[in-house]
Amino acid sequence: MIPADIRLYTWVDVEDVLLRSHQKNDWPEGLIEAQAYWDGLHLSIEPGTREKIIEWLADQFDPRFDQENRTILLEAARDKERILPVFLEETAEAPQNPRTIPTFSRPTVVSKSYEPKNPDPLPDDYPPVIAFHSFKGGVGRTLYALATAQGLIAKSGAWYSHGSDRIAQGRENAKTYLKEHQELANDLEQQIRAFHGLLPEEAKTPPQE
For each of the domains in the chain, give its residue range(s) and CATH number, in order of start.
11-111 (no CATH), 139-200 (3.30.250.10)
Q: What is each CA distance from 38 to 6, 110, 170, 177, in whole angstroms?
A: 18, 16, 30, 33
pLDDT of residue 102: 47
Alpha-carbon distance of 107 to 186, in angstroms, equals 34
Alpha-carbon distance of 83 to 87, in angstroms, equals 13
Q: Are 58 and 67 in contact (CB under 8 A)?
A: yes
pLDDT of residue 129: 65
Residues of the chain with pLDDT under 50: 99-104
